[in-house]
Structure 1
Amino acid sequence: MFEATKVGRTVSKEDFKGQQEELRTLLLEAQRELRETNIPVVVLVSGVEGAGKGEVVNRLNEWLDTRGVQTFAFWDETDEERARPRYWRFWRTLPPRGDITILFGGWYAAPIEHRFQGHCTDAELDAELNRIVEFERMLIQDGALIVKFWFHMSEENQKACLNALSRDDRSRWKMMPQKAKFSEHYRVFEQVAERVVQHTDQGISPWHLVEAEDPRYRDLTVGKTLLHAIRTRLNSPGVPDQGTTTAGADMPSGAQAQITVLDKLDLSKSLPTPKYKTRMTELQKEINELAWHAYNAKRSTVLMFEGVDAGGKGGAIRRITSAIDARLYRTIPVAAPTDEEKAHHYLWRFWRQVPRAGYITIYDRSWYGRVLVERVEGYASDTEWRRAYSEINRFEEQLVGSGIVLLKFWIHIDQDEQLKRFQDREETAYKRYKITADDWRNREKWPAYKEAVNEMVARTSTQHAPWTLVEGNDKPYARVKVMRTICESLERALAAGRPSISGYVPCGDKRPAAPTPVPAPAPSGTPVAKDPKGKG
């Protein structure tokens, strides 16, 4: 598929000079229009070594207004990045709406390198590429424009370029040993690259293959392609709609047809005060020891609390935090998004707070606001909240797949108990701040919230991240159930070691003792011997 990038296209100095001035003017105009929209632009720059990716990025920064452009290179992972899920580093670099971010390699660099070096199989590579396709689709459905460039050249031209760089004092730092391996095994690298490009060349996120031998042709091609992509997006503000087609469908009526998973909870469960105090003391001691054990084992924990207003989330959280060393945890109260958070994908603000290895993050409300309050109150469109279920499942899969212990709690009470607690808050001075007009308004939408919770549990209670539904009418019972669930889950996780989710094998996480490179493709007409183990 790369033959079209080896035909020898060139642009003269005179043509380049004339076209560059007009192109730069048009790019700046498009960028100014972009700043007034809700469109974030991600430019991915990848390709063979020696193709001039750095020169292209420098040229784009020269042509564009750099105040609206951020550039990120993903070289060696930092300690901070290694202590979190792999995609944390990418979420941090995503641009706010109206800005442009340029990524060297982006989320493609590691899978390509790992497969080239034999650290994963074709099947594992394909699984990772499927995750990339879904990740890009999620960003695009949220309004992002992703423009992907692959720079290619012939093996002969690559050797010439790398030799020239090795003699250039300004570029010698690029000639690292690992880069030499890519050029020494050109055909092997090209085979891996072709598999990656073909697999992820989607209609909503296509690759642009650019012949890189002539710098003038290369730079103009990139500039014109980027301009066309931005212009097209500005002229067609709508984003691909892949929401479900069942929106607004009539559902069966009748009392029994409206029963939800919350109606099945036995809210009469209670715990006597003496037994509660004894059990809570035991559990708090246990959770403190487990928190330190998890810290030493570098196992992170994410505790997420949802529930009806006045359900008891705050009280449950206080029993946890009062038992754990404050240096080990952070509590994140989730309210309405700020302007900065609104300028990004709704999951962006939660990715930012993912704990590093060994620490605990407690979310008081969470990413489920998209399918609860935003759904019921109309803050998210029908298409947005419907596609959020799969987005959330993939997000949680990545957390658990990286070794994080994820626990999700829904604390429920009935309407009578909620009314009693609302009235108590209004009558108690130090509790009065907890009750707002929104609480009373939300109470009026009780049936709509029950329906939303029922669908949320049905579609996001997965094997790797199940929901724990907590009967909350009796606060002591609810608090003990939460603490007991956390302790039991941490004990199991620490005893089992690093988890392995079926179907989730991060490409490159399983490293063989002796890496075996991908076999080079056989010459045309030569039978290819099959690996008896089905690998490679």
Structure 2
Amino acid sequence: MFEAAELGRTLDKDIYKKELPDLRAELLQIQQELLGCNFPVLVLISGVDGAGKGEMVNQLHEWMDPRHLETTAFDAPTDEEKERPHFWRYWRALPPKGKIGIHFSSWYSDPITQKVEGKIADHDLEAYLSRINILEKMLVDDGVLLIKLWLHLGKKHYKERIKSLAADPKTAWRVTQKNIDNIKVYDSFREVAEITLTQTSTGQAPWIIVEGYDANYRSLTVGRLLRDMIRKRMDTDPRVLVSPGMDWSSKAVDKTTLLDFVDLEKSLGKKEYLEQLTHYQAHLSELARKAHKNKISTVMALEGWDAAGKGGMIRRIIHALDARHYRVIPVAAPTDEEKARHYLWRFWRHLQRGGHFTIFDRTWYGRVLVERIEGYAREDEWIRAYQEINEFEEELTEHGIVLMKYWLHIDKDEQLARFKAREQISYKQHKITDEDYRNRERWDDYAMAIADMVERTSTRHAPWDIIEGNDKRYARVRALQLLCERLEKVL
């Protein structure tokens, strides 16, 4: 794989100086045009130490408009980052539509380094690379132009580069003991890198290997690649970028769904309710303190019909929690900043540190509910969202996060009664809008979407709990009970 990038290619200085001004002008022009495009560009720069990765990043910032170019360099994860799922820090750094982002030492650095150092086995590397392929497919499906550059040096040239840098007082500071030690493990590194690139160079996100021996050759090659790949994407008919998604051939024979079999007659008397509420809140408080001590996080995803009682349920849950250790995230229509990125970005960024609770009032399931029914997402977008959501939730649970997913269910008559009651109470009138009544007209459509959602995303690692909600007392106690039971199993 790397033989063609170990030839010692060079570029004459005069040719470099002649071509550079036009290339810089073209890159700046592309940046301006990109601002009006509906996709972001993400450039991953990886490769061999000494191949010029840092110099290349600096050069791109010198050539291009820094207002529309942002580089994030990833070092060893901080304590804060370790307390969240592995890909959390990469998601947070994704560029918005119309901008270019550079990830320096991206999600490829850790698996390659750990494998070379013998910290992970072959099957661990394979699992990690599989997760990377899933992430990259998710980004590309959403429209990201993903450019993966591997800057390479052969073993001979690597040794020469390290010696040259070490001999020059102006650059000696750049050579660390690790760089010197890497000479001894170069062959192992090259082998692992080849495995990594082979397994992750896909049709939608291929690797491009650039020889890094000569700075002029490397710089002009990378500049041309960026220019040509971004221009090609701009000139592509956007219709061909739409992924066909999964087969959506299943058709319901009637409008009966699993929601029709939920027992909404369940209820609690006031005395029994207060006794159980006190019991489970006290128990949850104890479990939450233990979870915080052990740095076990909890993510709660609350969905339900309008007026189903999510707010009241949340208040009963947080009553048992330390206010320093939880955060409630009310989810509304995405902001312009959120619309400019993958729909899961805004949820990744809100994940809390180890031992904390993150409570989402409405969630990422809006993609397959309101966005599906109201037409805010194309069919191919919400169809593939089921798999994307399953992958997202699997990442959370693999990290050790306790994930609770509640669908709070009420019937149509109960919802109407609550709407009318809200209109009569001054401090609740803000909760009812014309849109709430309009949504009732599409009750059956939403019911089918909910059934599809549960069927396709209730997994072993992230099951759905459907809570009978016609009686608010019962629903609140049931939510607390389920949360306590799950935490007990983990702790």
Normalised to the residue count of structure 2, the TM-score between the two structures is 0.98
CA distance in 1, matches of 2:263, 2:250: 30
- Aligned with 1:382 (options 376, 379, 384): 379
* 1:251 alignment partner in structure 2: 251
CA distance in 1, matches of 2:229, 2:122: 32
* 2:307 alignment partner in structure 1: 310
**Partner amino acid, structure 2, of 1:145:** L
SS class of match (1:107):
coil
- Specify every segment of 5 or more residues in structure 2 that has no aligned partner in the other structure, as ranges: none
CA distance in 2, matches of 1:38, 1:220: 27
Residue 92 of structure 1: CA displacement?
1.1
**Partner amino acid, structure 2, of 1:154:** G
Comparing both chains, which one has the higher relative contact order based on Cα–Cα distances under 8 Å and sequence gaps of 6 or more?
1
- Aligned with 1:267 (options 264, 269, 284): 264
Residue 170 of structure 1: CA displacement?
4.5
Residue 245 of structure 1: CA displacement?
5.7
- Give CA-to-partner distance per residue, 1:238-263, whole Å, 9 cap, x none: 2643333644x58354xxx3221111
Residue pairs, 1:467-506, within 5 angstroms: 467-494=464-491
CA distance in 1, matches of 2:421, 2:53: 64
* 1:203 alignment partner in structure 2: 203
Contact 1:165–1:171 under 8 Å retained in 2:
yes
CA distance in 2, matches of 1:25, 1:371: 43
* 1:522 alignment partner in structure 2: none
- Give CA-to-partner distance per residue, 1:486-526, whole Å, 9 cap, x none: 111111111xxxxxxxxxxxxxxxxxxxxxxxxxxxxxxxx
Contact 1:140–1:240 under 8 Å retained in 2:
no
**Partner amino acid, structure 2, of 1:260:** T
Contact 1:243–1:386 under 8 Å retained in 2:
no
SS class of match (1:469):
strand
Q: Relative to 1, partners in 2 of residues 1:301 and 1:236: Cα closer, same or farther, differing over 3 Å?
A: same
Q: How many residues align?
A: 490
**Partner amino acid, structure 1, of 2:213:** E
Residue 290 of structure 1: CA displacement?
1.0
* 1:130 alignment partner in structure 2: 130
* 2:342 alignment partner in structure 1: 345
Normalised to the residue count of structure 1, the TM-score between the two structures is 0.90
* 2:281 alignment partner in structure 1: 284
- Give CA-to-partner distance per residue, 1:318-340, whole Å, 9 cap, x none: 10111211111000000000111
* 1:82 alignment partner in structure 2: 82
1:355 correspondence with 2:352: yes
* 2:8 alignment partner in structure 1: 8
CA distance in 1, matches of 2:169, 2:397: 45
CA distance in 1, matches of 2:92, 2:297: 19
**Partner amino acid, structure 1, of 2:158:** Q
SS class of match (1:126):
helix
* 2:364 alignment partner in structure 1: 367
1:329 correspondence with 2:326: yes
Residue 141 of structure 1: CA displacement?
1.1
* 1:97 alignment partner in structure 2: 97
- Specify every segment of 5 or more residues in structure 1 that has no aligned partner in the other structure, as ranges: 495-536
Range with greater deviation from structure 2 (48-57 or 176-185): 176-185
CA distance in 2, matches of 1:371, 1:152: 43
- Give CA-to-partner distance per residue, 1:11-63, whole Å, 9 cap, x none: 11100000111111111111111011111111111111111111111111111
* 1:23 alignment partner in structure 2: 23
Contact 2:45–2:148 under 8 Å retained in 1:
yes
Contact 2:302–2:407 under 8 Å retained in 1:
yes
**Partner amino acid, structure 2, of 1:63:** W
* 1:505 alignment partner in structure 2: none
SS class of match (1:4):
helix
CA distance in 1, matches of 2:173, 2:92: 27
* 1:36 alignment partner in structure 2: 36
Q: Relative to 1, partners in 2 of residues 1:88 and 1:237: Cα closer, same or farther, differing over 3 Å?
A: farther
CA distance in 2, matches of 1:410, 1:357: 25
Per residue, is there more helix in 1 or in 2?
Answer: 2
CA distance in 1, matches of 2:350, 2:172: 38
- Give CA-to-partner distance per residue, 1:281-331, whole Å, 9 cap, x none: 011111111111111001011111000001111111010111211111000
**Partner amino acid, structure 2, of 1:55:** E
CA distance in 1, matches of 2:383, 2:294: 38
* 2:422 alignment partner in structure 1: 425
CA distance in 1, matches of 2:362, 2:313: 13
Residue 169 of structure 1: CA displacement?
4.1
Residue 164 of structure 1: CA displacement?
1.6
CA distance in 1, matches of 2:410, 2:301: 18
* 1:504 alignment partner in structure 2: none
**Partner amino acid, structure 1, of 2:123:** A
1:150 correspondence with 2:147: no
* 1:501 alignment partner in structure 2: none
**Partner amino acid, structure 1, of 2:445:** A
CA distance in 2, matches of 1:144, 1:237: 15
SS class of match (1:258):
coil
* 2:317 alignment partner in structure 1: 320
Q: Relative to 1, partners in 2 of residues 1:108 and 1:422: Cα closer, same or farther, differing over 3 Å?
A: same
Q: Relative to 1, partners in 2 of residues 1:170 and 1:345: Cα closer, same or farther, differing over 3 Å?
A: farther
CA distance in 2, matches of 1:106, 1:493: 32
Residue 76 of structure 1: CA displacement?
2.0
Residue 195 of structure 1: CA displacement?
0.3
CA distance in 2, matches of 1:276, 1:141: 48
Contact 2:246–2:383 under 8 Å retained in 1:
no
Contact 1:204–1:240 under 8 Å retained in 2:
no
Q: Relative to 1, partners in 2 of residues 1:173 and 1:408: Cα closer, same or farther, differing over 3 Å?
A: farther
Of all paired residues, the percent bearing the same amino acid is 50
RMSD: 1.3
